[in-house]
């Protein structure tokens, strides 16, 4: 399946006049990436007997949309690097990032509109609702950077909007194209939500406990950046005083010796058993996802690709 998807994206080109607008789009969409959203969309469609040609354009559309959000997020977050290459606002400039991003959002719609379906209205409504929620998620993420009090519930709501709904939406859209029954679509959507939450919590965990060689980035970066991840929020929730105050103070500081800070935070995490708690939370999300996949009224063989995905993600080290 991933071969098919790689081929689709290798062969899809976006370049036309004015080049100043479309070159950054071509660049962004040929940087690679896991293409997990097109995979979910096409897999859901196949599960219910759909043919790949029935969703080819939509699969591109969902990836174009995802890359639009990355492009604008990178500008808002001032991230210099994406997939090992300079981000658009760094390679070109801010205005290019804004306008090429806007155009990608519009292009995503072109792909969906080019993919006929008797359920197109439902598909477009789902896509649009998802797009709005992703924007809301990014806003909450930015809000949380400036807020002292963020609860675990707040955090879960934020990552549901910022990350999970697009995975869930990709599955739902794929199933809609295949004409799947409503109840099954709902279960697949919930499967996607829990998968997305598990994936984000894993990202948080790997930042502290990933194998550097395999994870590919320096561990503890979230701590250095004072990022409010599930780990620190869980630690703040469970830490007794005065440990909680110390942790708060650490996450409000940017000391010259960042390594010492990271070490001290890890000591606290260890004392509180945070690693185990987060692993349990991840396992719980995967278990929820599995329950929803089980509830889909299809023969077991149809579910194999998504079961394989869960199995490979549960063991991921990067």
Of 39 and 140, nearer to a second copy (C-beta) is 140
Of 140 and 189, nearer to a second copy (C-beta) is 140
172 with 126: CB under 8 angstroms? yes
Q: Compute the least distance from the CB of residue 75 to a second copy, in Å.
A: 7
Q: Compute the least distance from the CB of residue 136 to a second copy, in Å.
A: 6
Of 98 and 309, nearer to a second copy (C-beta) is 98
Q: Compute the least distance from the CB of residue 201 to a second copy, in Å.
A: 22
Of 135 and 268, nearer to a second copy (C-beta) is 135
Residue positions counted in the chain: 318
Beta bridge partners of 81: 86
Q: Compute the least distance from the CB of residue 120 to a second copy, in Å.
A: 7
Of 97 and 239, nearer to a second copy (C-beta) is 97
Q: Which residues of 284-315 are buried (b: 16+ CB within 10 A; e: fewer)?
A: ebbebbbebbeebeeeeeebebbeebbeebee
Q: Torsions phi, psi of 210, nearest 5? A: -75, 160
Of 76 and 212, nearer to a second copy (C-beta) is 76
Q: Compute the least distance from the CB of residue 69 to a second copy, in Å.
A: 8
Of 127 and 286, nearer to a second copy (C-beta) is 127
Beta bridge partners of 86: 81
Q: Compute the least distance from the CB of residue 15 to a second copy, in Å.
A: 13
Q: Torsions phi, psi of 178, nearest 5? A: -85, -5
252 with 161: CB under 8 angstroms? no
Q: Compute the least distance from the CB of residue 125 to a second copy, in Å.
A: 5
Interface residues toward a second copy, by CB under 8 A? 17-18, 20-21, 72, 75-76, 94-95, 98-99, 101-103, 105-107, 109-110, 113, 120-121, 124-125, 128, 131-132, 135-136, 138-140, 142-143
């Amino acid at each position: 399946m991933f071969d098919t998807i790689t081929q689709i994206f290798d062969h899809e080109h976006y370049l036309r006049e004015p080049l100043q607008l479309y070159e950054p789009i071509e660049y962004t969409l040929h940087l690679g990436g896991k293409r997990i959203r097109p995979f979910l969309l096409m897999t859901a469609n196949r599960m219910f007997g759909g043919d790949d040609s029935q969703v080819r354009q939509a699969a591109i559309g969902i990836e174009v949309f995802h890359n639009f959000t990355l492009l604008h997020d990178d500008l808002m977050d001032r991230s210099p690097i994406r997939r090992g290459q300079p981000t658009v606002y760094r390679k070109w400039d801010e205005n290019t990032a804004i306008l090429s991003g806007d155009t990608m959002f519009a292009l995503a719609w072109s792909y969906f509109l080019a993919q006929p379906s008797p359920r197109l209205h439902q598909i477009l409504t789902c896509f649009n609702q998802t797009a709005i929620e992703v924007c809301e998620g990014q806003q909450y993420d930015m809000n949380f950077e400036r807020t002292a009090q963020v609860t675990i519930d707040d955090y879960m709501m934020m990552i549901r909007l910022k990350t999970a709904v697009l995975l869930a939406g990709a599955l739902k859209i794929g199933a809609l194209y295949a004409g799947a029954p409503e109840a099954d679509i709902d279960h697949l959507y919930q499967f996607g939500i829990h998968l997305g939450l598990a994936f984000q919590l894993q990202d948080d965990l790997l930042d502290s406990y990933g194998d550097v060689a395999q994870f590919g980035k320096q561990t503890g970066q979230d701590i250095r950046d004072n990022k409010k991840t599930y780990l620190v929020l869980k630690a703040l929730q469970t830490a007794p005083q005065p440990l909680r105050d110390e942790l708060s103070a650490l996450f409000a500081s940017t000391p010259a010796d960042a390594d010492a800070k990271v070490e001290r935070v890890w000591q606290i995490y260890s004392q509180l058993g945070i690693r185990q708690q987060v692993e349990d939370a991840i396992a719980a999300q995967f278990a929820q996802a599995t329950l929803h996949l089980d509830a889909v009224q299809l023969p077991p063989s149809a579910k194999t690709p998504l079961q394989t995905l869960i199995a490979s993600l549960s063991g991921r080290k990067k």
